[in-house]
Amino acid sequence: MLNKQEVRRQFIHLFTAFIPLMYYFFPDIGPLNGQQWTMILFAVFGGLFVLADYLRRYNSLIKKWFLLLVSPFVRIDEENKMTAASHIAIVFFFILLIFPIHISVPACLLLSVGDSASGLVGQWIGKHAWFKHYTIEGTLAFIVAGLILFLLAFPYIPLWKASVVVVFCALFEALFSHFDDNIVIPISAATMLMMLEV
């Protein structure tokens, strides 16, 4: 069942594409290049968000203000633990830091685009479960959205390599569902792109 909170949540999830896009397109200013500026800004603002998310569990005032800002997007099971947004911020930061730009950006964008598509379609019209709560419709939406992303934005990646990455990440999301998919997908994508020598 697709409710308003999940729709808002998935669109915010899609908005995380802003981070790798900023990393890719931010202009060089002064002595630093665009990637360096992005990482500095990301470390400051993303770090403040993650810190507030962590501290809210121990400080009622921080919790009050934090939930006032993000409660429309937070699931009930996230109220007493780190949010998915913090997991995304942490994993994006380290993937952009560790992997070269031609690998890190598509890996992060695959999470933003593919996972949003699978979440929306799976909860909207997903009727045929193939593993736990994962539906065929949602998984196919992830694959289609991911392939379109690679075809349009990263034509330097051969289609067969893009297909391998997208399909395996769709499978890993389900098979490693005991981990947060916001961590599993981008790490798997970046690792596979590196192994395929993109």
d(CA 159, CA 188): 18
Per-residue pLDDT of 88-130, as tens digits, reads 999 999 999 999 999 999 999 999 999 999 989 988 898 899 9
Give the residue among 122, 99, 97 at the shortest CA–CA distance from 188. 99
Q: Is the pLDDT of residue 182 over 80?
A: yes
Spell out the residues 6+ positions from residue 41 whose beta carbon is closer than 8 angstroms to its own: none
Per-residue pLDDT of 134-177, as tens digits, reads 999 999 999 999 999 999 999 999 999 999 999 999 999 888 87
| Helix axis angle, 60-70 to 34-55, nearest 10° | 120
Total domains, the chain: 1
**Which residues form the domain of 154?**
4-195
Q: Which amino acid is at 24?
A: Y
Count of Cβ atoms closer than 10 Å to residue 4 Cβ: 8
User: Do residues 137 and 38 make contact, with C-beta atoms less than 8 angstroms apart?
Assistant: no
The fraction of the chain above a pLDDT of 70, given in percent, is 99
Please give the full DSSP string across 135-194, using - where no structure is assigned.
EHHHHHHHHHHHHHHHHHH-TTS-HHHHHHHHHHHHHHHHHTTTS-HHHHHHHHHHHHHH
